Every structure is written in C-alpha cells, then in structure tokens.
Amino acid sequence: MKEFKNTEKLILYEDSEGGNLKILRERKEDEQKEKVLIYQYLDGNIQYGFEGEKIKEIIIEEADELPSFFSQYGFGFSEKTVNNFFRYSFDHPEVDTLIIGGLPSIREGNKLRINIDELEKLITSINQEQRGCNETKKTLVKNMIVDIFPEVNFDRASVNSSKDMVLRNLNDKLIEKLTAEEVQQLGEFYVKATRKFKAGHIIKKINAGLIKNAQMLSLQEIVLKYEKLLNDNPAESEWQKFFDEYITLFDSRYVHKVNYKNIATGITKYPDLVLVDIYGYIDFYELKKSGTELIQFDKSHKSWFWSRDVSMVISQVSDYLQKAKENALSYAKAIKDETETETEPGLEVNIINPRAIIVIGHTKELNTDKKRNQFKNLRESLKDIEFVLYDELLERLKNLLDSIKIENEHKQASVAQLQKPA
C-alpha cells in the first residue's frame, strides 16, 4: 500500500495486493488510522462505494479511470444536486445499485443502468441552470438597486437565461401554471420570433396554434375562478365583476360590451351587462346569486310557481325589454354616439326583439323530476327571456374547454403523422 495523494484533511492510498487496484482514504485526525475503501478496479470495471439511504454501490463499466463527475475522495457524485438525490431522495425499496456505462438506460432487477452520455448531459444541464440562476440573482439585485437608488450609475438589465434552459422548461407542466396574461406575454414573444421565417404559411400555422392554446389556457383559468365563485356563493356584485371581465372570452357570440350607464337613454335602472353579438344584436344580462331560490310550491293548487326573487327579476328584465323596444331608434343612436372615437365609427346595433338572459340559481334545488319538469315549463313559457343556471353555464365552459383540447390533440396527431417518414 502506498500513499499517492495528500490533502489538508485526507491521505489517499493505492493498494494493489490481490491483483485488484484499490483506492482508500484516511482522515488525518483519526487516531485509529482507519482506511476506508473508496473504489476498486475489478474485471475491467470500477466499483465505487456509495453511502445512500437506498443506493449502496455504483459500478462504472469499462473504465480506466474514475470519471470526473465522481468525487475521487469517495463522497459520491461531484455535482451536489445529483449526489443528494441518489443519496437521500431516491426511494425505491428494490434498487440498491447504479451501473454507469455506454449501454442504454434500463432497470435490471435491483440495479438501475444509466447511460453515461445521458448522465453527462444531465450534469451539464444542471450546471447551466445554476449558472443562469446565479446570473439572474445578480441581475435582480442590480435592478433593485437601480429602482431604489436611481442616482446610482447602473443600467437596468434584462433577466435572461440560456436558450437550452428556456427550452427545457417549456413543457406541459408549465402550461398548467401559466395565467392568461403570461400566455399573452409568451405569445407576443412568439409572434416576434416567427418573423425570422420567410415562409408565410409557417407563421400562419404557428399563430393559429398559439391562438388556440391561449384560448385553452384562458378557459382553464376562467373555469377555476368560476368554480371557486360557485362554491363560495358570493354577492351579486362579485358575479357582475366576473362576467364583466370574462364573458367575451368564454362566449364567442359577443364582440362588444356597452357601458349602458354612460348612455343617455332616459332610464335610471340598468341591466348588469349589455352585450352586442357578432351580428350587432343586443342582449341584456341580469345576474343574481347562485344560491337564489328558483321555485316555490303552492299547496292549495298543488303546483310550483316562481319564487319571489325570480318574479322580481322577471319583472325587472321585462321592463328593460319593453323600454328598449319602445325607444329602439334613440337607443341605437345613443350607443353609436357614445362608442364613436376619433379613429373609429360608433357601434351599429340592432335593437329588434332584444333578449334578456337571467343567470341565477343552481340545479341542485331541482332535486326531483316534478321540480325539474315544472321549472322547464316555467322557463319555456317566457318570451324573449332566457334562464341560465350557474352550474349549467359551468358545464358549458367545461365542454368548450374539452372540445378545444380534443381539437388540439387531433391537430398534433395529424402533424405527427405527416412528419413520419414514408
């Protein structure tokens, strides 16, 4: 046995007795002079001891020397993240050995075979990520100083990462975390990036796919917010805010919202929403609480009738409709004048047989066939007034989202089929 490396705290030894070269270490502070086996050459391979909770041994196949991504002092992988994962986070009761070599990665009983090129690529990616994070951290600190102390002679810097780092993080899991605004930001970057291509059909194809994905992500976010509101049963004002912000996103019939309160129509009570569809026709929306009682039972006549709250809202929207019909021309002119700008003509609307949509209640109240049938008869008896229950609308949103997902999947499958070699 001979010493071949001496550091501040350790001495490394070579031992070739028995025909197999062994590398051992000794701590200088150890009074017992105990020597611990780090690795040994055996049958053309290197056997490397590993002190993981599950992984106890690493075999490097057909190796003349220890790869650089292993600690020569016997503490595992040189890259800390990889080392900590296999030492503490890897949790498989049947696997206790790693094999590193040139063969494809595969599990073999109690061993995991990892291709050495894939491992080196992983470590390179982690190092790039860490360097990028360090640069980002420095840039964030610098930008904070610039924001707080403008007199400091620094220029703001963009937080950029390497191309490989960005592309690695563009995966399906990221999609679920993005908001509609973040998708829009990505979309703007995406459109700029397409300008490097000269082929117009490529840009159109990319942009069409982007629009569909943005719509899908927007709907996912809308559905989550809608479900929370439906569960909370908030005040009518909260529903008004939600519909005012999102209805033109999840109902493609509508292309414009009219700020009715700014229009001189001679009335003092306004619908919650006034929407214009793609043909220029107007719909009035009235929003009530999702927990509003829909129907009540008349014991004397053994029948169901509208609840007091529903009767009041029917009377309310009937008044909107009547006044709109009586003053159709003046209303249309007032809307056109109000929506006119320096560069755009005012909105041309048709107030001919306008509709009123009442969003109210929940189907859980209609818990018997009798109630469901009576409600159906009552809602169908009204002229130009449509009832939409909150959970019915949620189901429509989910169906729309599913249809967009299916359409995207079909398109992706078609593209993949076309890209297959003949």
Q: How confident is the model at residue 367 (pLDDT cuts 50, 70, 90)?
A: very high
Look at residue 45 and tell me whether its pLDDT is greater than 60: yes
Look at residue 201 and tell me whether its pLDDT is greater than 90: no
Q: How does pLDDT run across 311-366, given as a tens digit for each residue?
A: 999 999 999 898 888 888 888 888 888 878 888 888 888 888 889 999 999 999 99
* pLDDT the model gives residue 103: 94
* pLDDT the model gives residue 359: 94
Look at residue 160 and tell me whether its pLDDT is greater than 60: no
Pairing of strands 273-277, 295-298: unpaired
* pLDDT the model gives residue 83: 93
- CA distance readout (Å), 75 to 25, 37, 48: 11, 11, 10
Whether the CA torsion 212, 419, 122, 52 is positive or negative: it is positive
What's the alpha-carbon Rg for the chain, to the nearest Å? 35
- Two structure tokens written together for 106: 């595969």
The structure tokens 């590993």 sit at 50
Question: Which amino acid does the sequence have at 189?
Answer: F
Look at residue 267 and tell me whether its pLDDT is greater than 70: no
Pairing of strands 350-359, 385-388: parallel
The full length of the chain comes to 422
- CA distance readout (Å), 345 to 49, 259, 337, 342, 348: 79, 16, 9, 8, 9
Residues 6+ apart with CB under 8 A from 290: 229, 230, 233, 239, 360, 361, 362, 390, 391
Q: What is the mean pLDDT of residues 18-23?
A: 88
Could you tell me which residues are beta bridge partners of residue 298?
A: 303
* pLDDT the model gives residue 400: 84
* pLDDT the model gives residue 255: 83
d(CA 66, CA 200) in angstroms, rounded, equals 53
Q: Which of 232-241, 309-318, 405-414 has the lowest mean pLDDT?
A: 405-414
| pTM of the entire predicted model | 0.51
Q: How confident is the model at residue 407 (pLDDT cuts 50, 70, 90)?
A: confident
| Chain mean pLDDT for the chain | 84
* pLDDT the model gives residue 194: 67
* pLDDT the model gives residue 196: 67
Domains of the chain by residue range: 2-121, 235-388
Of 105-109, 141-145, 250-254, give the range with the top mean pLDDT: 105-109
Select the more confidently predicted residue: 156 or 185.
185
Q: What is the mean pLDDT of residues 184-198?
A: 71
* pLDDT the model gives residue 246: 85
Select the more confidently predicted residue: 386 or 256.
386
Nearest partner of 21 among 78, 63, 79, 69, judged by Cα: 63
Q: How does pLDDT run across 139-156, given as a tens digit for each residue?
A: 888 878 877 887 776 666
